[in-house]
Amino acid sequence: MQSKSETSDASRIIILDEHTANRIAAGEVVERPVSVVKELVENSLDAGATQITVSIEQGGKELIKVTDNGCGMTREDAILSLQRHATSKIRSASDLKAIRTLGFRGEALPSIASISILEMITKHESQPAGTRLEVEAGSITNLESVGAPQGTTIIVRKLFFNTPARLKFLKSAQTEFSHIAEYVGWFALAWPTVSFRLLHGGREVLSSPATGQRLNSIVEVLGKDIAKQLVEVHYELPGVRVEGFVSCPSLTRINRRDQIFFVNGRPIRNKIIAHALDYAYRGLLPSGRYPVAVLFLEVPPELVDVNVHPAKSEVKFSNEQEVHSAVYRSVNMALTTGAAIPTISEHAEPLGKPAPISSEQADITSKLFVPWPDAATQQHIQPMNLSAFQEALRRRREQALSEISDVGEDSWQKGSGVPVEESPVPEADFIAPRTVALTGVRVIGQARNMYVLAECDDGLLVIDQHVAHERILYDQLLRFDAESRSAIQRLLTPITISLSASESTVVRQRLDMLNQAGFDLEEFGRDTFILRGAPPQLKPSQAEAILRDIIAELVELSVERHLIVRSDQVLITTACKMAIKAGEKLDDREMKQLVEDLLKCENPFVCPHGRPIIVSLSNWELDRKFKRT
Q: Residues interacting with Mg ion, by CB under 5 A? A: 43, 103, 108
Under rule CB under 6 A, residue 608 binds ligand ADP: no
> 394-397: which pairs have CB atoms within 8 A and are 24 or more residues apart?
395/174, 395/175, 395/178, 396/175, 396/178, 396/179, 396/181, 396/182, 397/257
Query: Between 44 and 247, whose beta carbon lies closer to ligand ADP?
Result: 44
Q: Which residues of 348-368 are buried (b: 16+ CB within 10 A; e: fewer)?
A: eeeebeebebeeeeeeebebb
CB 564 within 8 A of CB 505: no
Under rule CB under 6 A, residue 119 binds ligand ADP: no
Under rule CB under 6 A, residue 592 binds ligand ADP: no
Under rule CB under 6 A, residue 291 binds ligand ADP: no
Q: How many residues bind to ligand ADP according to rule CB under 6 A?
A: 22
Q: How many beta carbons lie within 10 A of that of residue 293, not counting itself?
A: 24
Query: Between 124 and 577, whose beta carbon lies closer to ligand ADP?
Result: 124
What SS3 class is residue 49? coil
DSSP state of 84: T
Instruction: Choose the binding region for ligand ADP from 84-92, 260-268, 339-347, 499-507 (rule: CB under 6 A).
Output: 84-92
CB 533 within 8 A of CB 520: yes
Under rule CB under 6 A, residue 73 binds ligand ADP: yes
83 binds, among ligand ADP, Mg ion, none (CB under 5 to 8 A by kind): none
What SS3 class is residue 521? strand
For ligand ADP, the binding residues in 255-274 under the rule CB under 6 A are none
Counting beta carbons within 10 angstroms of the beta carbon of residue 233, is it exposed (0 to 12), middle (13 to 18) or buried (19 or more)?
A: buried
Task: Tell which one of 33, 59, 60, 106 touches ligand ADP (CB under 6 A).
Answer: 106
Query: Between 154 and 254, whose beta carbon lies closer to ligand ADP?
Result: 154
Alpha carbon of 338 to those of 232, 350, 426, 436, 480: distances in Å? 11, 18, 16, 6, 27
Q: C-beta of 80: minimal distance to ligand ADP in Å? A: 7
Under rule CB under 6 A, residue 459 binds ligand ADP: no
Under rule CB under 6 A, residue 89 binds ligand ADP: yes
Query: Between 111 and 569, whose beta carbon lies closer to Mg ion?
Result: 111
Q: C-beta of 269: minimal distance to Mg ion in Å? A: 20
Query: Between 43 and 618, whose beta carbon lies closer to Mg ion?
Result: 43
Query: Between 103 and 138, whose beta carbon lies closer to Mg ion?
Result: 103
Q: C-beta of 298: minimal distance to Mg ion in Å? A: 21
Task: Tell which one of 81, 247, 264, 365 touches ligand ADP (CB under 6 A).
Answer: 81
Q: C-beta of 103: minimal distance to Mg ion in Å? A: 3
Query: Between 106 and 185, whose beta carbon lies closer to ligand ADP?
Result: 106
Under rule CB under 6 A, residue 39 binds ligand ADP: yes
Q: Tell me the C-alpha distance between 246 and 47, whole Å.
A: 31
278 binds, among Mg ion, ligand ADP, none (CB under 5 to 8 A by kind): none
User: What is the DSSP track for 272-327?
Assistant: HHHHHHHHHTTTTS-TT-EE-EEEEEE--GGGEE-TTSTT--B-EES-HHHHHHHH
Q: What is the contact mask toward ligand ADP in residues 131 to 170, using x (rule: CB under 6 A)?
A: ---------------------x------------------
Query: Between 103 and 459, whose beta carbon lies closer to ligand ADP?
Result: 103
Task: Tell which one of 70, 185, 373, 459 touches ligand ADP (CB under 6 A).
Answer: 70
State how beta strands 442-447 and 614-618 pair.
unpaired
Instruction: Choose the binding region for ligand ADP from 21-29, 100-108, 285-293, 432-440 (rule: CB under 6 A).
Output: 100-108
Q: C-beta of 603: minimal distance to Mg ion in Å? A: 43
458 binds, among ligand ADP, Mg ion, none (CB under 5 to 8 A by kind): none
Query: Between 73 and 468, whose beta carbon lies closer to ligand ADP?
Result: 73
What lies within 8 Å, CB to CB, of 7 at 6+ separation is none
Under rule CB under 6 A, residue 88 binds ligand ADP: yes
Residue nearest to Mg ion (CB): 103
Q: For the chain, report the end-to-end CA distance as a whole number of angstroms.
A: 91
What lies within 8 Å, CB to CB, of 161 at 6+ separation is 115, 116, 117, 137, 167
Instruction: Choose the binding region for ligand ADP from 106-114, 208-216, 285-293, 324-332 (rule: CB under 6 A).
Output: 106-114
CB 566 within 8 A of CB 590: no
What lies within 8 Å, CB to CB, of 289 at 6+ separation is 252, 253, 254, 423, 610
Q: C-beta of 176: minimal distance to ligand ADP in Å? A: 21
Under rule CB under 6 A, residue 43 binds ligand ADP: yes
Q: Tell me the C-alpha distance between 27 and 112, whole Å.
A: 10
192 binds, among Mg ion, ligand ADP, none (CB under 5 to 8 A by kind): none
Q: Which residues of 97-113 are buried (b: 16+ CB within 10 A; e: fewer)?
A: eebebbbbbbbbbbbbb
Under rule CB under 6 A, residue 22 binds ligand ADP: no
Under rule CB under 6 A, residue 87 binds ligand ADP: yes
104 binds, among ligand ADP, Mg ion, none (CB under 5 to 8 A by kind): ligand ADP
Under rule CB under 6 A, residue 108 binds ligand ADP: yes
Which stretches within 30-161 are classed as H helix? 33-46, 75-80, 108-114
Under rule CB under 6 A, residue 71 binds ligand ADP: yes
Under rule CB under 6 A, residue 309 binds ligand ADP: no
Under rule CB under 6 A, residue 35 binds ligand ADP: no
Task: Tell which one of 25, 47, 268, 606 touches ligand ADP (CB under 6 A).
Answer: 47
CB 268 within 8 A of CB 292: no
| H or E element, residue 496 | strand 489-498
Under rule CB under 6 A, residue 86 binds ligand ADP: yes
Q: C-beta of 75: minimal distance to ligand ADP in Å? A: 13
Q: List phi, psi (to 5°) of 255.
A: -150, -170
Point out which residues pair with 118 in neighbouring strands: 135, 156
Sign of the dihedral defined by the CA atoms of residues 493, 498, 502, 504, in that order = positive
| Binding stretches for ligand ADP (CB under 6 A) | 39, 43-44, 47, 68, 70-73, 81, 86-89, 103-109, 152
